[in-house]
Amino acid sequence: MRKKSLLTVPLQPIAEVTGEEPSENLWRRISWLLGVAVLLIAAVFWVSARSKPKPYSPETISQGENSPDAVIEKLHLVSTVMGRKRWEMNADSARLYQNQKQAYADTIYAQYFKKDKLVSTLTADRAIINTETNATQAEGHVELITENGSKLETDKLNWDPATDEMRTDSRVHIFKGLDEITAVGLIADTQLNNVRFLRDVHTQVRDTHEVQNYNEKKKF
């Protein structure tokens, strides 16, 4: 009688299984992680950019080293040349920075004079004033009204005391006599007598009944 042979099971596995991940999946995972990192870095830069103060108001009272040297309520400035008043400004409030030699003022009411005679009045939401030269950059809703009844509207207007000129690169709207003029950029005197427009000038003649005189005195 033949003896039955015992069934033996091999000690080694039939197929070897490795713990290595296919290279295609590995590179796909690395690319995904790099993409997430780039998005996170972009988000950080975006939040940082939005948290920076606005250009016209770089100061915040609680910012420590950027805090103003003085906060002035009801600011009143007067500039004279050889004893004659040339410029006078009132503001609701102002922050003074000595190192910058600038003052940042809110709610502006300014008057310009020639030979002690009032020639024009300016109002604006805010202004940056050079405390050494009195050069002023008015911003926001800016209006310059002359004593002869002309009016200038813009969102930014610079006054240079050295030349007594008004300048802007912004869009302007002027009402002067029967003319209504729009343009981009302007150089003019404080009386709007000598005006040079930079580009995109459009003129419209108004009817007589549409003409308005703006030379009424304003109260601050």
- The model's pTM: 0.66
Give the whole-angstrom CA distance, residue 192 versus residue 174. 9
Give the whole-angstrom CA distance, residue 60 versus residue 62. 5
Using CB atoms within 10 Å of the CB of residue 155, give its burial: 0 to 12 exposed, 13 to 18 middle, 19+ buried. Answer: middle
Three-state DSSP state, 35 = helix
Q: What is the pLDDT of residue 36?
A: 67
Q: What is the pLDDT of residue 109?
A: 96
Question: What CATH number is associated with residue 145?
Answer: 2.60.450.10
Give the whole-angstrom CA distance, residue 8 versus residue 99. 93
Residues in the chain: 220
Each residue's pLDDT, cut to its tens digit, for the chain (220 residues) gives 555 554 444 544 444 444 555 566 666 766 666 676 667 776 666 655 554 444 444 554 434 457 888 898 999 988 888 888 889 999 999 999 988 899 999 999 999 999 889 999 999 999 999 989 999 999 999 999 999 889 999 999 999 998 989 999 999 999 988 888 999 999 999 999 999 999 999 988 866 655 565 655 554 4
Residue 199, domain member (yes or no): yes
**Domains of the chain: total:** 1
Residue 30, domain member (yes or no): no
Give the whole-angstrom CA distance, residue 116 versus residue 160. 18
Residue 55, domain member (yes or no): no
Amino acid at 203: T
Residue 159, domain member (yes or no): yes
Give the whole-angstrom CA distance, residue 161 versus residue 138. 14
Residue 156, domain member (yes or no): yes
Q: Provide the residue range defining the domain that includes 125.
A: 64-209
Residue 169, domain member (yes or no): yes
Closest C-alpha to 115, from 68, 75, 147, 70: 147
Residue 134, domain member (yes or no): yes
Residue 102, domain member (yes or no): yes
Give the whole-angstrom CA distance, residue 136 versus residue 75. 14
Query: Which residue shows structure tokens 């800016």?
Result: 142
